[in-house]
């Protein structure tokens, strides 16, 4: 709401003291018109060829953008929500147009490059509000986050898994070895196979996971594979980082 205009403050007019010629009355009589001296108009400022004044609107927009960028850089180091991830743009698109599938839960994950062929179970949210993982006794299975898209729908379908346990390697032990261009296949309950192509494989500190990039991009059918990585911190803290595979749907087929 625009600010209300302030009312004028009433009061006696300011007294102006001027010099008067000898013999003139001290004050003008009632009804007399006092002529005001004419002022010469100021000359316009000289014009400089080849230069135009910078529009104030563009200056204001530039200052706002700079302020948001600085704010984002600050939030990324204090709260773990990295706004700089929003300025990076989308992942590299696949080499051809993408299909779109109707909802159907996934049942099996196949990644030929790292020799993964694993059943998929459903997971929800953990007590602390993070995405849960499969039980340790089922560490060779992957977990699909059931509150998100199914693989092949618009949006990022999320599949998580353990990297290892005390007894040895788990389903996503070699996830960080994947490379762009490799294929991931997800068999769904409707007997359709969703084929994804890897766009990037990235490491993020758990306190700086780019939420919008991982969970919020609904422009096309996508897949996110997530596991732990980085340094082992011990105890209940686990590993320091998350390994995230970003992939896009490129084909579908009947199983």
List pLDDT tens digits, range 156-187.
Answer: 999 999 999 888 999 999 999 999 999 999 99
pTM of the predicted model as reported, rounded to 2 decimal places: 0.63
Cα-based angle 190, 108, 254 (whole degrees, multiple of 5): 40
Among 112, 96, 100, which residue's Cα sits nearest to residue 150?
100
Among 144, 151, 146, 143, which residue's Cα sits nearest to residue 194?
151
Among 113, 109, 204, 197, which residue's Cα sits nearest to residue 161?
109
User: What SS3 class is residue 72?
Assistant: helix
Tell whether the model's pLDDT for residue 39 goes beyond 90: no
Among 182, 189, 178, which residue's Cα sits nearest to residue 151?
189
Tell whether the model's pLDDT for residue 33 goes beyond 80: no
Q: Residues, the chain, total?
A: 255
Cβ contact 123:133 at 8 Å:
yes
**Between 57 and 73, residue with greater pLDDT:** 57
Identify the pLDDT of residue 92: 60
Cα distance between residue 221 and residue 209, in whole Å: 21
Cβ contact 214:253 at 8 Å:
no
DSSP code, position 27: S
Cα distance between residue 72 and residue 251, in whole Å: 36
160 beta partners = 143, 226
**Between 242 and 65, residue with greater pLDDT:** 242
100-146 confidence digits (pLDDT tens): 999 999 999 999 999 999 999 999 988 888 889 999 999 999 999 99
DSSP code, position 210: -
In this structure, the strands spanning 221-234 and 238-254 are antiparallel
Beta strands in 175-219 (DSSP E): 183-188, 192-205
């Amino acid at each position: 709401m625009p600010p209300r205009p302030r009312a004028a403050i009433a009061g006696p007019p300011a007294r102006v003291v001027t010099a008067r010629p000898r013999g003139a009355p001290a004050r003008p009589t009632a009804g007399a018109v006092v002529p005001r001296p004419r002022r010469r108009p100021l000359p316009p400022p000289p014009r400089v060829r080849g230069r135009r004044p910078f529009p104030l609107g563009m200056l204001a927009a530039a200052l706002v953008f700079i302020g948001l960028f600085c704010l984002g850089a600050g939030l990324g180091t204090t709260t773990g929500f990295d706004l700089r991830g929003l300025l990076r743009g989308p992942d590299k698109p696949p080499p051809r147009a993408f299909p779109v599938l109707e909802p159907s839960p996934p049942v099996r994950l196949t990644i030929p490059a790292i020799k993964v062929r694993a059943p998929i179970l459903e997971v929800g949210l953990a007590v602390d509000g993070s995405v849960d993982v499969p039980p340790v006794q089922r560490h060779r299975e992957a977990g699909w986050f059931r509150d998100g898209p199914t693989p092949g729908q618009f949006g990022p379908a999320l599949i998580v898994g353990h990297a290892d346990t005390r007894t040895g390697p788990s389903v996503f032990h070699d996830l960080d070895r994947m490379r762009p261009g490799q294929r991931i296949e997800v068999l769904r309950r409707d007997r359709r196979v969703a084929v994804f192509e890897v766009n990037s494989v990235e490491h993020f500190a758990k306190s700086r996971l780019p939420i919008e990039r991982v969970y919020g991009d609904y422009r096309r059918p996508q897949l996110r594979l997530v596991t732990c990585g980085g340094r082992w911190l011990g105890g209940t803290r686990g590993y320091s980082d998350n390994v995230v595979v970003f992939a896009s749907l490129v084909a579908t087929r009947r199983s």
